[in-house]
Amino acid sequence: MSTIAAISTPVGAGGIGIIRVSGEDALRIADAIFVCKGKPCAERLAGDPARMCFGEFVAEDFRDRGYAVYFPAAKSYTGEDTVEFYLHGGVRIMRGALRETVKHGAVLAERGEFTKRAFLSGRMSLADAEGVADMINAESAAGLRAAYRLMDGSVANAVNAAADELLDVMTGLEAVLDYPEETEDEVLPPLGEKLRSVLDRLDKLIATAPQGRMAKHGITVVLAGAPNAGKSSVMNALLGENRAIVTPIAGTTRDTVEGRFECDGVLVNLVDTAGLRESDDVVESEGIARARKAAQNADLVLHIIDTTAKERETLSFGNVRTFNVYNKCDLTSYACPRMYGCFAVSAKDGTNINLLRRSIAALYSEGATAGGEIITSERHLSALYRAKKAIESAISSLDGTVDCTLIDLREAYDALGEITGKTATEAVVNGIFEKFCVGK
């Protein structure tokens, strides 16, 4: 393949900028544009790999002092010879340095092409590569931890273990199909038991998907309740800033208002909504409809209750987990029920606001798995469900023809292979790496 080059640091002025060059001509290009003291650049870098060499980057219209480092193919990220240049991070320097690598034979890298080459060279699985993207885009500590487990191969290893069990079953069945006379006296292992073992593996992975979604995207929390209960005030208190407009007028919030914060490493997405009541106002009615829809799709509803109101309306949010938040406790002696999911707070003076924050964040750790493998990708979850369905079909056909069972097992095996990349189509692979940034 061609030798590729890209700027691997963010666009904009910075203390340091990195140009990455990968491919069989990487050392030759480095030799043409970087001057090490004492020896030719290529000789110096090749003789002391993975060690920075101080010198000068020589472009057509400027020079810069910096470092070059060489990674031989066997130990590089991409599985190809790679040279990285660490220069001053000016926009003009980076553009000029990149242009210089192109003048000497490199081509501009596509989105995610360095990581794609790492996948194609067998340095990582497709799932590992997706973990790299998730690491870059993670917005919380929980998201980073889940992405790292994906990037370091933990998820791929769990999927491969299930796929290997399937392959053992398929190998035995194919032997029966191909050599019926030679295998008619052999006793096959209990296939149903082995397949149920694979199902158990898949079910454990599928069960982590809700936690994976929370880790990657955060916990969606909707504040709902009667008008003037203090929903916007509670939201502002949780955020620690005045995000939502607060007035004494009931029905101030007409549309949803969103904000986010991180607590104990978990991202929390807050959605403030219109007060729930009967209304003839067209605009307010639309806001109320949106509030009910937001509550239905939430991970958690904070039912904000005004403890100073003469009538404390009890609202139901179906099967959505709900915390009852008794607001304005600084203005009343109302006794909040002493039970899980009930909080007496004051948005005004901050009473128990931090307790509420931490209780919301704790919803993530409730479902955390001991092994740490968490499914954070909808693509992976879809493949796991397809594999599960195919195995269940195979189990139901065990008393029938071997051909039918094998068709189902191959479908399951292919579905699992899509996660790791073993059976992924070129379109799937290209679609994944197109979401990467240039330079990674």
The Cα 58–Cα 34 span in angstroms is: 6
The pair phi, psi for residue 86, each rounded to 5°, is -110, 105
Res 366 pLDDT > 70:
no
pLDDT at 312: 67
Task: Record the tokens describing residue 189, joined without a space.
Answer: 């292992």
Closest CA to 167 of 394, 410, 432, 422: 410
The Cα 114–Cα 23 span in angstroms is: 10
Q: Mean pLDDT across the stretch 111-139?
A: 93
Q: Mean pLDDT across the stretch 112-116?
A: 94
Read off the pLDDT of residues 278-310 as tens digits, 9 standing for 90 and up: 555 555 566 677 778 888 888 999 999 888 887
The Cα 232–Cα 227 span in angstroms is: 10
Res 396 pLDDT > 90:
no
Higher pLDDT, 9 or 280: 9
Q: Mean pLDDT across the stretch 108-114?
A: 94
The Cα 428–Cα 221 span in angstroms is: 33
The answer to whether the CB of 12 falls within 8 A of the CB of 92 is: no
Task: Record the tokens describing residue 237, joined without a space.
Answer: 């208190």
Number of residues written out for the chain: 440
pTM reported for the whole predicted model: 0.82
Which residue is associated with the tokens 């209960």? 229
Read off the pLDDT of residues 66-88 as tens digits, 9 standing for 90 and up: 999 999 999 999 999 999 999 99
pLDDT at 9: 92
Q: Mean pLDDT across the stretch 34-55?
A: 90
The answer to whether the CB of 163 falls within 8 A of the CB of 151 is: no
Least confident of 52-66, 69-83, 274-288, 397-411: 274-288
* % of the chain at pLDDT higher than 90: 53
Strand partners, 82: 22, 71
The Cα 252–Cα 232 span in angstroms is: 9
The answer to whether the CB of 91 falls within 8 A of the CB of 28 is: no
What average pLDDT does the structure give for the chain?
Answer: 86
Res 239 pLDDT > 50:
yes
